[in-house]
Amino acid sequence: MEPTTEDLQKKYELFLTYYGKFGKTSDVRQATVYRAASDGTVRPHQSLLTMETDDLVGTLDTSSPLVQKLLHQVQTYDCSRQKILALVLDRKHVFSNVYWVHREIDKCE
């Protein structure tokens, strides 16, 4: 069964409760990614991954509109002042957002 937008939003809010303070600015374009359990469960104290565009393309289904949104975010955000947090439920279902961080570095590559 396909998760609804409401289901994704609820899981993302839970994810932010546990992991919202993580992720950071960088000098390269990347997303901080949480891979949910195979049943879609979000649990505290699981590892976060940092993935660049090539990693995302190689791992996720790029025909999915949700994945395309994440890839667009990675290509357009200001990595010196923003971070991306993404919840990956499976290859097609990803919920992501860009957040401002109060720290600056020189430039994005």
Question: How is the chain split into domains, by residue range?
Answer: 5-100
Nearest 10 degrees: CA dihedral of 107, 50, 65, 71? 20
Residue 93 CA to residue 88 CA, distance in Å, equals: 6
Q: Which amino acid is at 22?
A: F
pLDDT at 103: 57
Length of the chain equals 109
Task: Give the dihedral sign, CA 4/43/69/20.
Answer: positive
pLDDT at 60: 94
pTM, to two decimals: 0.79
pLDDT at 66: 93
40 and 15 in contact (C-beta within 8 Å)? no
pLDDT at 47: 79
Question: How would you write the pLDDT of the chain (109 residues) with one tens digit per residue?
Answer: 677 778 878 888 888 888 877 777 778 788 888 787 767 777 777 778 888 899 999 999 999 999 999 999 999 998 888 888 888 888 998 888 898 886 555 555 5
Residue 97 CA to residue 3 CA, distance in Å, equals: 18
pLDDT at 71: 94
